[in-house]
Amino acid sequence: MFAVMSTSVNDPSHGFCRDCLAVQRGPAMRCTKCGSPRLMRHPELYALHIAHIDCDAFYAAVEKRDNPELKDKPVIIGGGKRGVVSTACYIARINGVRSAMPMFKALEACPQAVVISPNMEKYVRVGREVRSMMQALTPLVEPISIDEAFLDLAGTERLHGLPPALVLARFAQSVEKEIGITVSAGLSYCKFLAKVASDFRKPRGFSIIGEAEAVTFLAEQPVTLIWGVGKAFAATLESDGIRTIGQIQRMERGDLMRRYGTMGDRLYRLSRGQDTRRVEPDHDAKSVSAETTFDTDLASSADLVPILRALSEKVSTRLKKSGIAGRTVVLKLKTQDFKIRTRNRQLGDPTQLADRIFQTGMQLLAKETDGTKYRLLGIGVSDLTGVEKADPPDLIDVQSRKRALAEGAMDALRDKFGKTAVETGYTFGKGRNAHPREDVED
């Protein structure tokens, strides 16, 4: 039925109903077909194709789905070792409960809440189901965390006979019907604003930020809306008298870069709604990696670097044992509030060496140690190859050649006397944290 509609549906003066998806031609406040008030209208409705989807109160929604008695009750997911709230349903949020709040505070705010301990296995399973529904829409799905992803829906018109906006609305409906939880969606011309839009009217939201309105919309927003502006950086900006994105819009690029380095450039571009990052699909990431979750959250490079070193050595050992090498070094961090950051760097040639993985990881890490507290650090390599072309002696510089030789010697000693027989300066004396216990590898 949509294929027939798709010619007229592209007229920007036409909206559609988010419940029955019928085209809305006039200015009526309710759907002319089903009477729903959930109508979508926007001048760029049929021109935008970058989407961000985020499940609503994800863990809590899954628990409510599985126990209908919880439907109208305030539900908090959390507890466990850390004694904090993982998430709360929107009823509990009305009472002031928030993610990452200590459990005792949450219960002070909402004593009648039902508290449930997290069942990660179940949430991972449901997260995968949502993701495979996304992948049925487009191969261009970039997962960001367990419950959110970017999608580039540019090709959907041809594939599904529907413009991206309608594909997205239909997707939200299917998730409700088939999985039993709700999502919020944002549609824009770039990743930054698609993500901002999806957060705009949660839960069951669908918001659009068009190119024409981006600068005016952003001017009113706080700087914390910009990716990479965490609490620490926001405090720096605040001390410089900068609170809104509008203030940044009035500043020169050179001035911002002088003050804040590469972050200044990002501020300059994003404040004007300029974001050219593409949606990068997760190419069945074949990688060798090691990661560890810390006992307490860590922020300083003094704490993180020795862990990075130990993990790099672990990855290197596995590569050497399997006779493979990797060309792209991937750093993974999970922030205190469970957001995952991954940073990649491609090397000139594949490597197996702990030192090259570590040095590259250090460069990537340096940009992320901005005061943000992390709960997890991981390092790995992808773009796997055989060893033939790995670490060519004539291509690596003298310094790294020396380190490669030293590494060979250390490997030999470790083989003979055990893993902790030889330690580099980075891990030496750092004790248990430097040789993480709880590591997960893929």
| 57 binding ligand DCP? (CB under 6 A) | yes
> 167 CB contacts (<8 Å, ≥6 apart)?
137, 153, 156, 160
Restricting to residues 182-201, name those near ligand DCP by CB under 6 A: none
Binding site partner of 368, from ligand DCP, Mg ion, none, Cβ cut-off 5-8 A by kind: none
Considering the complex, state which of residue 219 and residue 299 has its C-beta at the smaller distance from ligand DCP.
Answer: 299
| 54 binding Mg ion? (CB under 5 A) | yes
Contact status, residue 218 vs residue 209, Cβ threshold 8 Å: no
CA–CA dist 348, 96 (Å, integer): 51
Maximum Cα–Cα distance for the chain, whole Å?
80
The question of whether 407 is a catalytic residue gets the answer no
CA–CA dist 267, 265 (Å, integer): 5
Binding site partner of 138, from Mg ion, ligand DCP, none, Cβ cut-off 5-8 A by kind: none
Looking at 6-14, 143-151, 385-393, 427-435, which segment touches ligand DCP (CB under 6 A)? 143-151
Contact status, residue 37 vs residue 29, Cβ threshold 8 Å: yes
Considering the complex, state which of residue 146 and residue 237 has its C-beta at the smaller distance from ligand DCP.
Answer: 146
Handedness of CA 223, 225, 226, 228 (dihedral sign): positive
Binder of Mg ion out of 58, 123, 233, 358 (CB under 5 A): 58
| 202 binding ligand DCP? (CB under 6 A) | yes
Binder of ligand DCP out of 2, 200, 217, 338 (CB under 6 A): 338
CA–CA dist 261, 280 (Å, integer): 26
Contact status, residue 270 vs residue 255, Cβ threshold 8 Å: no
Binder of ligand DCP out of 31, 46, 53, 87 (CB under 6 A): 87
**Alpha helix stretches (DSSP H) within 41-89:** 58-66
Tell whether 147 is in a known binding site. Answer: yes
- In the complex, least distance from residue 303 CB atom to Mg ion, rounded to whole angstroms: 29
Looking at 51-59, 174-182, 258-266, 394-402, which segment touches Mg ion (CB under 5 A)? 51-59
Binder of Mg ion out of 63, 147, 383, 407 (CB under 5 A): 147
CA–CA dist 389, 112 (Å, integer): 63
* Residue 338, amino acid: F
User: Which residue of the set 142, 148, 407, 423 is catalytic?
Assistant: 148
CA–CA dist 193, 274 (Å, integer): 9
Residue 431, by phi and psi: left (phi above 0), alpha (psi -120 to 50) or beta?
A: left
| 100 binding ligand DCP? (CB under 6 A) | yes
Burial (CB < 10 A; 0-12, 13-18, 19+), residue 270, is buried
| 142 binding Mg ion? (CB under 5 A) | no
134: phi then psi, degrees, rounded to nearest 5: -65, -40
DSSP β-bridge partners for residue 76: 88, 115
| 337 binding ligand DCP? (CB under 6 A) | yes
Supply the Cα-derived Rg of the chain in whole angstroms. Answer: 25
Binding site partner of 86, from ligand DCP, Mg ion, none, Cβ cut-off 5-8 A by kind: ligand DCP
Considering the complex, state which of residue 126 and residue 325 has its C-beta at the smaller distance from Mg ion.
Answer: 126
Considering the complex, state which of residue 55 and residue 151 has its C-beta at the smaller distance from ligand DCP.
Answer: 55
| 147 binding ligand DCP? (CB under 6 A) | yes
- In the complex, least distance from residue 147 CB atom to ligand DCP, rounded to whole angstroms: 4
Residue ranges in contact with Mg ion by CB under 5 A:
54-55, 58, 147
What residues form the annotated binding site for Mg(2+)?
A: 54, 147
Residue ranges in contact with ligand DCP by CB under 6 A:
54-59, 86-87, 99-100, 146-148, 202-203, 337-338
| Catalytically annotated residues | 148
